[in-house]
Chains A and B, each alone.
Chain A
Amino acid sequence: MTRRLRIGYVPLTDAALLQVAKARHFAAARGVEIELVADSSWANIRDKLVAGHFDAAHILAPAAIAVSLGIGQVEAPLLAPVALGLNGNAITVSQALFETLRQEAQGDMADPRVTATALARIAARRRERGEAPVTFGHVFPFSSHHYQLRLWMRAGHADPDEDVRLVVVPPPLMVFTLRRGQLDGFCVGAPWNAVAVAAGAGTILHQGTDIVRDCPEKVLAFRAEWARSHGDDVRALTEAVGDASRWAVAPSNRDALVALLTLTVGQDVSARTMERALESPASPSGPARSATGLRLDEDAIKADPAQALWLYAQMVAAGQTVYSRVQAEAAAAVYAPALGPPISRPGTTPVAFDGPAFSPDDIPSYLAALGVGRPRS
């Protein structure tokens, strides 16, 4: 008898592989029936997964790690045997801030160092004049979006806690808030950047990959205890995600994928906007290193513990926790590729455009080089 699994997700482009696994019957072929339950917030996804209302969930990778470490109140060990993709975010700024940045920039606006330096000057000036602080939106305290903003701002020597204001805004309200002038910019995933541009409310300043190449995004997470007692279901579901990944990158399935995602997101987003949010189909030479859009290929779904360690380091850098080796090991253990689909190639490690090189084997040196823990001057 096939088991029925309830999987929570937030209707975003990067829930793609779960949608494909269901709609193209990959899960059924692996012996599990899946019910996809849309939810409206990451907090709900987290709570319902932890409380057992969901068997598995599409969840922000850092949120899964935070829950496992017990940072941010809710504590429950989770396992992520497979990732659901890489990249897909972008930083969009209001037209007004874009103009000011252009006047302030000394160099190529495509270079995030140039824009970050200009932003730091604008933020300082506003503070001196007693004006409202430069305010950027992101989606959740434990999110790559949040960390990408911080990495970008640090490159211009702006302190993300002192010099600017970072706030959580639900993605469907992001464009509206930008237009009302309550935000100067935001970092969000597809399709919201394209929506802001289409509405004339903002300009995409940088792709997420300009800030962090191969940036972890969402994972498929289970309660660790449940995953251990339901090994066959976990295996079946994660292999179905692997099947979905192979299907999704085949150029011949492109139109079908775009149509499926347009239905999923369902927010008056055109197929053209959706098409642009996705990485171009895999070239014969494999996924392009210069990929700017959401990556769904096999290399992009491997739950490599090095990614979990990178995210953990970002949490420490953001002041969300204090580094310890025990915590780092626990963070790495959330990513459990052994329970995921067999992928022989090595996984990817995120690379930020600026700052010290990251080595998963030596997080303290990375943090020290970032200046974390050093008293503020």
Chain B
Amino acid sequence: MSRDLRIAVIDKNPLRAAILEDGLRAAGHTGVVRIDDTADLLDRIRAIDPDVILIDLESPSRDVLEQMFKVSRSVARPVAMFVDRSDSAMIDAAIDAGISAYIVDGLRKDHVKPILDITISRFNAFAKLTKELEMAKSQLDDRKAIDRAKGLVMRAKAIPEEQAYALMRQVAMNENRKIAEVARSIITAAELLR
């Protein structure tokens, strides 16, 4: 069995990088190093001398890695881009997930493909998680706004809670708006009139 591959992960999102590192370790890759997206990126890479580099597509430092293509003194070993043209499904999946990979030339692609598969699935899982979190957060914000608006209506009209809520719901239905939008309008108006 070949030695453990050294894998460098360039991602400014520490949580996502940790999730990826975790996934790679679970698959038996222990040599994972996270690199910050900083000005001395190439020096860091030279010091680590990785076999595989995984980079977040949002990082402008991708262009820094491009200069490793040419055989040069900037890195010890020539580097190739893993997503070669022959595998268009893999390219699509990698772009959609927002990642790219570079490998040292000569490394067998069947060794690298599982690593890229893990990366794509972890990046996608992270995106899904982020979306769900945002949705949950906005639902919570909606609920807070509705509660606050309800209180304002109760006080202004001296009516009980259920009636205040029913009133807001009626307005929302009549105006074809969400009740949370109506609630925010009430809060804005109340702040204006205070």
A→B interface (CB under 8 Å): 40-44, 47-48, 50-51, 53, 72-76, 139-141, 167-173, 176-177, 180, 182, 319-320
Instruction: Known contacts A168-B64, A180-B39, A182-B39; decide if A76 and B85 are in contact (CB<8 Å).
Output: yes
Smallest beta-carbon distance B79→chain A, Å:
9
Bin chain B's interface residue count: 20 to 34
Residue contact A173 to B39, C-beta cutoff 8 Å: yes
Min Cβ gap B43→A in Å is: 9
Complex Cα–Cα for A74 and B62 (A): 14
Q: A73-B69, A320-B70 are in contact. Are A42 and B63 (CB under 8 A)?
A: yes
List A contacts of B85 (CB < 8 A): 50, 74-76
Nearest CB on A from B96, distance (A): 8
14 sampled A-B residue pairs with Cβ under 8 A: A42-B66, A43-B65, A44-B62, A51-B95, A53-B92, A53-B95, A72-B66, A73-B69, A141-B69, A167-B74, A170-B61, A170-B63, A170-B64, A172-B60
**Chain B residues whose C-beta falls within 8 Å of the C-beta of A168 in the assembled complex:** 63-64, 66-67
**Distance of A177 Cα from B40 Cα, bound (Å):** 8
- Take A40-B58, A47-B95, A73-B80 as given contacts and tell me if A140 and B39 are in contact as well, using a CB distance cutoff of 8 Å: no
Residue of B nearest to A180 (CB): B39
Q: Which B residues are in CB contact (< 8 Å) with A320?
A: 70
Cβ contact within 8 Å between B63 and A47 = no
A310 to B85, CA, bound (A): 28
- The winner among A48, A139, A141, A182 for most chain B CB atoms within 10 A is A141
Given contact pairs A74-B81, A169-B64, a sample of 4 additional A-B residue pairs in the complex whose CB atoms are under 8 Å apart? A43-B63, A140-B63, A141-B67, A319-B70
B100 and A43: CB pair below 8 A?
A: yes
- Given A74-B81, A140-B66, A167-B74, are A41 and B59 neighbors across the interface (CB < 8 Å)? yes
The answer to whether B88 touches A40, judged by C-beta atoms less than 8 angstroms apart, is no
B57 interface hit (Cβ, 8 Å): yes
Partner of A167, one of B62, B67, B80, B95: B67
- Whether B63 lies near A177 (C-beta < 8 A) is no
Q: Is B19 an interface residue (CB 8 A)?
A: no
Residues of B within 8 A of A (CB): 39-40, 42, 57-67, 69-70, 74, 80-81, 83-85, 88, 91-92, 95, 100
Please, which residues of chain A bring their CB within 8 A of the CB of B39? 169, 173, 176-177, 180, 182
What is the CB-to-nearest-CB distance from B62 to chain A, in angstroms, rounded to a whole number?
Answer: 4
**Contact indicator A173/B60 (Cβ below 8 Å):** yes
Name B96's closest neighbour in chain A (CB-CB).
A53
What's the nearest-Cβ distance from chain A to residue B73, in Å?
Answer: 9
Q: Which residue of B lies closest to A173 (CB)?
A: B39
Closest to A176 in B: B39
| Complex Cα–Cα for A182 and B41 (A) | 11
Neighbouring B residues of A172 by C-beta, 8 Å: 60
CB neighbours (8 Å) of A51 from chain B are: 88, 91-92, 95
- The verdict on A44 contacting B57 (CB below 8 Å), with A167-B42, A169-B39, A182-B39 known, is yes
Residue of A nearest to B80 (CB): A73
A-side contacts of B70, CB under 8 Å:
72, 141, 319-320
Report the minimum CB–CB distance from B175 to chain A (whole Å): 32
Question: How distant is the Cα of A172 from the Cα of B91 in the complex, in angstroms?
Answer: 27
- Neighbour of A182 across the interface among B40, B59, B84, B95, CB < 8 A: B40
Establish whether residues B80 and A43, one from each chain, have CB atoms under 8 Å apart when the complex forms.
Answer: no
User: 9 nearest interchain CB pairs?
Assistant: A170-B60, A41-B62, A177-B39, A43-B62, A40-B60, A41-B63, A168-B67, A51-B91, A73-B81
For B60, list chain A residues within 8 Å (CB). Answer: 40-41, 170-173
In the bound complex, do residue A141 and residue B66 qualify as a contact, i.e. CB atoms below 8 Å apart?
yes
CA distance in complex: A180, B88 (Å): 41
Return chain A residues, CB-CB under 8 Å to B84.
Answer: 73
- Chain A residues with Cβ under 8 A from B40's Cβ? 182
Q: Which chain A residues border B62 with CB–CB below 8 Å? A: 40-41, 43-44
Cβ contacts under 8 Å, B57 to chain A: 40-41, 44
User: Complex: how many Å from CA A75 to CA B57?
Assistant: 20
Q: Which residue of B has the minimal Cβ distance to A72?
A: B69
* Smallest CB separation, A183 vs chain B (Å): 9
